[in-house]
Amino acid sequence: MPAETRRPLISGNWKMNQNHYEAIQVVQKLTYLVGKDDFETVDVSLHPPFTDIRSVQTLIEADDLRFALGAQNCHSEDKGAFTGEVSPVFLQKLNVSYVIVGHSERRELFGETDAMVRDKVAAVLRNKMTPIVCVGETLEEREAGTTMDKVTKQVRAALEGCSPAQAGSLVVAYEPIWAIGTGRTATASDAQEVCAAIRSTVASLASAEAAGAVRIQYGGSVKAGTIKELMAQPDVDGALVGGASLDPEEFARIIQYRLHEPSEA
């Protein structure tokens, strides 16, 4: 599948920011800034904290908004004695479409392993949602020249047990850890190089068709001023945006990257 047939996906990961009142305000402001036409060419998912999801769902459905609802994490089991965890079944009941799996903050701060990520990918797929699987290297790994090894290993683990069709339905987010929340962005050509390697890993693990279909996002300090060049790369199909997605005006400009020149963004 050539790059131009993959629908771009811009995702806003709010992390642990915005209570449910604030979340409603952000979505309302975004609704004024992002028009129906914008959704003709791009998919947009919003990933509020769990406690906001019901409020955002209600707003999206009441006003027939085109934002897709997302979550930031879930457990790999559908139910059971897992105090404090959130079942993928519950997310599916809230009409969540995309679930971020294996974000580097989950991996680094909460001990999520490649095996846990693999099980969560399976759980999200089992519940008819789309996983956004995060992969990426630390600064030490980049400096040691092991970026490709790390990222390939993470992709390999995440795809274990996926059929080729399932592999093709995934979203993979390449988020170099050193670029998250730091204001440092990978250059567009570095992002392209790693995203291309992810796509060829999917080709070798699943199929050429799956590799052509899988959508690969870049994440790490994405701003309105950097999105256009990133999106011009043949293997970058979208962005996973943290800080800049909390500001409706900035996030709207990211969604509308086609309309703005980097210099005016």
Residue 218 φ/ψ, nearest 5 degrees:
-105, 145
Minimal distance, residue 237 CB to ligand 13P, in Å: 15
CA angle 102-177-126, nearest 5°? 15
Among 30, 46, 162, 180, binds ligand 13P (CB under 6 A): 180
Q: Of the ranges 73-81, 115-123, 174-182, 249-257, which one interacts with ligand 13P (CB under 6 A)?
A: 174-182
- Known catalytic membership, residue 264: no
**Residue 219 found at the interface with ligand 13P (CB under 6 A):** yes
The nearer residue to ligand 13P, 67 or 211, going by C-beta atoms, is 67
Q: Which is nearer to ligand 13P, 185 or 210 (CB)?
A: 185
- Does residue 221 belong to the site contacting ligand 13P (CB under 6 A)? yes
SS3 (DSSP) at 22: helix
Tokens in use for 217? 């996002």
Tell me which stretch binds ligand 13P (CB under 6 A): 20-28, 147-155, 161-169, 218-226: 218-226
- 152-166 b/e (C-beta count within 10 Å ≥ 16 → b): bebbebbbeebebeb
Pick one of 75, 243, 248, 253: the residue that binds ligand 13P (CB under 6 A): 243
- The two three-digit tokens of residue 36, written as one number: 């129906």
Residues 65, 102 contacting (CB under 8 angstroms): no
Give the catalytic positions in this structure: 103, 175
